Structure 1
Amino acid sequence: MDNRMRPAILRGMETETDIIVVGGGLNGAALALGLAELGCAVTVVDAQPAGAQEAPGFDGRSYALALASQRMLARLGLWQALEADAQPMLEIKVADGRVGDGAVFLGLHFDHAEIEEGPMGYMVEDRHLRRGLLSAMAAADRITHLRGETVVAQETTARGASVTLASGAVLRGRLIIGADGRGSGTRARAGIGRMRRGYGQTALVCAIAHALPHHGIAHQLFLPSGPLAILPLAGNRSSIVWSERTELAEKINALPDAAYLQVLRPRFGDFLGDIGLAGARFAYPLELSLADAFVAERLALVGDAAHAVHPIAGQGLNAGLRDVAALVEVLDQARRHGEDFASLGVLERYAQWRRFDTASLAVATDVFARLFSNDSAVLRGLRDLGMRAVQGTPALRRAFIREATGLTGDVPELMRP
């Protein structure tokens, strides 16, 4: 039966499943696929209506997938369809500059040739990744995808869990997983608080077509008002994540395309020749968000529902996928040992695994964002001294590369070759 027909059938009914995933975005879809591979019956509650996420046109959004995340997509059977449209990231150049400097090389240079595993990661457009995940879910017998549905209530007890949908349907299962973003209703309904701190910055996101090839090189330019990332896409195109102080960002975002480009050009520089917009433009305020707990009785949080960080290192989606891989592994091990995989004791293993990594990432991105988003002569001297030290020490460069690729620490099974 077509999963898209299920919401109409479910109205006023109660349905049993193993695991309820609230949120049908990238993390929620990847989680559902990983759980289905374990043999679990999974129901995904997705607020987006059918067709909303399958638009074929390019809307400008893209993701920097670390090598570990690419391996996970390969393990889930998705990478073969994505590879033709993915752009390998072969080098990363980090510059400490001012408006007018352009993305010239003033600091660090990371080259994938310094590690044995291959490219440091891949740039993948949202339209390709999202459609790939949705197609895989539709083909999975153990996944029911309820589209255009929202959760209005949830309940967890020692015996099970349930959610009530806006349509009146009730889903009952053994575990609820919140993959519903930084404003997670799942987290709020569970009574889990979060730490929030704004940066006073807004990210301007778009894609740029340019005259000259990028050669697979990603650029991170630190400007006094915030970082500017120029990330290579397939063809002569690049993804832009441009952070500005919020008041100025709102004014820039309100400009027509031609005026928007006039503001971007002196920051971007001319190293890629003439530039033009290629897709829609987005803007979203930047904040640090960290849930007080990642689990509760028969409930777990993944991705932005648990943690959201500054995009300065491009690790948001990668951290979410690492949550997914870790949770799938913990639940799998519990089932193999005959445990109740939805028990709080089992879920605490997931929380313990991911809490330190995500807290460390939050602190690191927070420190870097504050250290580099200013024009202090003292701080500029200190950070430039630090970059020269890393650039002149091959072992440190390799350590940074391996961290960026997701190959360090306790790597979940789904992210291994």
Structure 2
Amino acid sequence: MDTDIIVVGGGPAGLAFARQFKNSRLHVTVIEKAPLESLQNPAYDGREIALTHLSREIMQKLGMWQRIPENEIYRLRDAKVYNGTSDYTLHFPEPKKARGGATDRLGNLISNHNIRRAAYEEVAQMNNVDLRCGVGVKKVETSTNQAIVELENGDKLTAKLLVAADSRFSQTRRQLGIAADMHDFGRTVIVFRTKHTISNQHTANECFFYGRTLALLPLEEHLTNCVITIKNTHAHELLDMTPEQLAQEAQKMLKGKLGNMESAGTVHSYPLVGVHAQKFYSTRSALIGDAAVGMHPVTAHGYNLGLESTDILAKLILQAEQKGRDIGEVGLLEMYNVKHQLHTRPLYHGTNAMVTFFTTDHAPVKLLRDATLRVSNNLPPLKKLISKQLTG
């Protein structure tokens, strides 16, 4: 074999997975189509990632957390959900510690480019990881004995295991013949930072307005990342605006709850598509990150699930290697599939159902949406269950 594990995709999930093998005897090759410069100095892309306490623990173990500037790790104290024009909120307060006493946050917010840079800096120091950047994958195939990856430059690599981490639109997943449930919400996500005169109280807000959804992710006390989802047919109404006009639009949607708002950066947009693979493995191959599960951003669980996938799969591989077993055997991959599916499948379908419910604007549903928030607010077991999902 040319290497033990080939990882297709050098994004934050692919690099975090490679980092799991520091100080092991396994050799990992990461294939990334983008140039090396994009890994060394990733550009800001507007995405602020909400990280659970479990994700923080995994990132600390991998040395990634320590590489992120302390002043760019933002506290997420609590969260509130609004329906329509009502001021009534479903409130998820900061959680309690196991032995009593409040913590000071539900989780943390970190910019995606900072996570990517931290992952790269850790992997770049590893002698058992090769980064092959600036070249794409042309073809992948697997057999009972090996995985073969043909690159666009004609090179071929063989490995004991192939791992796909090349986005929710993964071509590797398609070539492996793994089917996936793809849910196109028919909406566009528009993200931008704003400064404002009234404190955000380090509180995340999810506002299900009619025709639009606005999420507010608190960074500094007077700096918030705004995430608007809108039907594709109306996206141009916002994308044609200047950054300052967009900030004023957000202020109007919020009825001035954050005071005067102004633009604090660039505007970015993305198609809103959710993905869940029917299974997370095939012959000598596995899916991690968004190639396995690409979540709707409303629960902010995307990268959290990606990190969990790297942690589960890497632990199984390392245990097998220590026992002298085949790291690409079907039993190992099936165990990974079962463990990760148990958490992701109900969360994925539950999130999609919730989003569909809260973005349906027919009159009877509007009333039911409001009633659902009020009932949920008064059911402590349900709120506790949701809070545990939010905090990981």
TM interval, shorter chain, is over 0.9
Instruction: Pick the aligned partner of 2:233 from 244, 247, 252.
Output: 247
- The residue number in structure 2 matching 1:288 is 274
The letter for the 2-side match of 1:285 is P
Aligned residues: 387
Q: TM-score, normalised by structure 2?
A: 0.92
- What is the deviation of 1:357? 2.0
Aligned residue for 1:141, secondary structure, equals: coil
- The residue number in structure 2 matching 1:96 is 83
- What is the deviation of 1:235? 5.2
- The residue number in structure 1 matching 2:178 is 192
- What is the deviation of 1:113? 4.1
Q: In 2, Cα distance between the equivalents of 1:294 and 1:139?
A: 29
Change (3 A) 1:259 1:131: same
Aligned residue for 2:124, secondary structure, equals: helix
Q: In 1, Cα distance between the equivalents of 2:39 and 2:196?
A: 27
Instruction: Pick the aligned partner of 1:203 from 175, 179, 189.
Output: 189
Offset from partner CA, 1:203-239 (integer Å, 9 cap, x none): 1112222223322111111112242110011352111
Q: What are the equivalent positions in structure 2 for 1:302-381 lying under 5 Å apart?
A: 302-381=288-367
Q: In 1, Cα distance between the equivalents of 2:254 and 2:239?
A: 16
- What is the deviation of 1:351? 0.9
Change (3 A) 1:57 1:367: closer
Aligned residue for 1:51, secondary structure, equals: helix
Q: Which shows bigger deviation, 368-377 or 179-188?
A: 368-377
- What is the deviation of 1:401? 1.1
- The residue number in structure 1 matching 2:287 is 301
Aligned residue for 1:242, secondary structure, equals: strand
Contact 2:55 2:307 in 1 (8 A): yes
- What is the deviation of 1:137? 1.0
Change (3 A) 1:127 1:289: closer
- The residue number in structure 2 matching 1:414 is none
Contact 1:86 1:234 in 2 (8 A): no
The letter for the 2-side match of 1:297 is T
Change (3 A) 1:29 1:235: farther
The letter for the 2-side match of 1:114 is K
- The residue number in structure 2 matching 1:84 is 71
- What is the deviation of 1:317? 1.3
Q: In 1, Cα distance between the equivalents of 2:142 and 2:204?
A: 45
Contact 2:95 2:106 in 1 (8 A): no
- Residue ranges of structure 1 left out of the alignment (5+ in a row): 1-14, 407-417
The letter for the 2-side match of 1:188 is R
- The residue number in structure 1 matching 2:243 is 257
Q: Which shows bigger deviation, 255-264 or 222-231?
A: 255-264
- What is the deviation of 1:142? 1.4
Instruction: Pick the aligned partner of 1:29 from 1, 8, 15.
Output: 15
Matched, 1:139 2:125: yes
Q: In 1, Cα distance between the equivalents of 2:23 and 2:90?
A: 41
The letter for the 1-side match of 2:49 is Y
Q: TM-score, normalised by structure 1?
A: 0.87
Aligned residue for 1:338, secondary structure, equals: coil
- The residue number in structure 1 matching 2:145 is 159
- What is the deviation of 1:240? 1.7
- The residue number in structure 2 matching 1:3 is none
- The residue number in structure 2 matching 1:19 is 5
The letter for the 1-side match of 2:71 is A
Q: In 2, Cα distance between the equivalents of 1:185 and 1:55?
A: 25
The letter for the 2-side match of 1:87 is Y
The two structures, once aligned, show a CA RMSD in angstroms of: 2.0
Q: In 1, Cα distance between the equivalents of 2:43 and 2:2?
A: 37
Offset from partner CA, 1:139-198 (integer Å, 9 cap, x none): 122111111121111221212112111122222211110000112121111122222222
Q: In 2, Cα distance between the equivalents of 1:300 and 1:351?
A: 9
Contact 1:24 1:46 in 2 (8 A): yes
Q: In 2, Cα distance between the equivalents of 1:388 and 1:337?
A: 53
Offset from partner CA, 1:329-385 (integer Å, 9 cap, x none): 222232334321211221111111112322212211111111000223322332322
The letter for the 2-side match of 1:378 is P
- The residue number in structure 1 matching 2:36 is 50
- The residue number in structure 1 matching 2:89 is 107
Contact 1:223 1:374 in 2 (8 A): no
- Residue ranges of structure 2 left out of the alignment (5+ in a row): none
Q: In 2, Cα distance between the equivalents of 1:352 and 1:171?
A: 29
Q: In 1, Cα distance between the equivalents of 2:113 and 2:220?
A: 13
Change (3 A) 1:293 1:395: closer
Q: In 2, Cα distance between the equivalents of 1:16 and 1:388?
A: 59
Q: What are the equivalent positions in structure 2 for 1:168-183 lying under 5 Å apart?
A: 168-183=154-169
Aligned residue for 2:249, secondary structure, equals: helix
Instruction: Pick the aligned partner of 2:222 from 232, 236, 254.
Output: 236
Aligned residue for 1:174, secondary structure, equals: strand
Contact 1:107 1:384 in 2 (8 A): no
Instruction: Pick the aligned partner of 2:258 from 249, 272, 284.
Output: 272
Q: In 2, Cα distance between the equivalents of 1:279 and 1:126?
A: 15
Offset from partner CA, 1:34-76 (integer Å, 9 cap, x none): 1335442111111110222444774432111111111110111
Aligned residue for 2:20, secondary structure, equals: helix
Contact 1:232 1:239 in 2 (8 A): yes
Q: In 2, Cα distance between the equivalents of 1:233 and 1:93?
A: 16
